[in-house]
Amino acid sequence: MKNNTRTLADNFIAPPCHEKIQVLHEDESLLVINKPSGLLSLSGKNPANKDSVHYRLVQDYPGACMVHRLDFGTSGVMVVALHKSVNAHLTKQFQTRSITKNYLATLLGHLSDDVGIIDIPLAKADFPYQKVCYSTGKPAQSHYQVLERLQDPENETKTTRVLFSPLTGRTHQLRVHSREIGHPIIGCDLYGLTIDGVDSQLLADRLMLHACSLTFEHPETGEKICMEST
């Protein structure tokens, strides 16, 4: 199984991403950027997957360190350390969950509750999937708030815009949690569902998940930094 997993990972070729990385904040310690959808956070082992957030940034910022990642299809705010000491400080903030992250997502269907917490443990499955596992999975909680319920006037497809605030940071957490409550994220190629004849993956040409805000303590100044991207 490990060999099969390695083969799948090595054979994945990311399509070219022509969008640029937007720098939202820059100082001597760190960068805050807006990552485009369709760009890897780190370069893959396959030489064809050289292009990534890290690869692009080190051209101009040789000391850039990736403190965290966003999925290939996810866009939005990321913080990047420019020194090892800053990287260690920010990494500790992520580990202690003192960093606040919010995401905008569009889900298939109308959620019945305006707010809620999805509490479903997750574990690794065959690459690249995660699975629900109540015996060996790690705790995973996602808070959500409904922003808007929409309905397409032409085909009557119902969707819901939500604000996610993950309380934990498991791989694919928001994608799996959304699917498990019967409302997959639009455009998700891994955890989509067909509901009432509507295939959630086919409703958008990208994953409709955007990291809209990130709040953290500046490692050097101690200042509370809140960066947003709509």
Q: Active-site positions? A: 71
Which parts of 12-71 fold into alpha helices (H)?
Answer: 53-60
User: In whole angstroms, what is the distance from residue 178 CA to residue 120 CA?
Assistant: 10
Rg, the chain, Cα only? 18
Those residues whose C-beta lies under 8 Å from the C-beta of residue 7, and which sit 6 or more positions away, are: none
Q: Residue 123: beta bridge partners? A: 131
User: In whole angstroms, what is the distance from residue 77 CA to residue 214 CA?
Assistant: 7
User: In whole angstroms, what is the distance from residue 91 CA to residue 97 CA?
Assistant: 10
The tokens of 200 are what?
């959630």
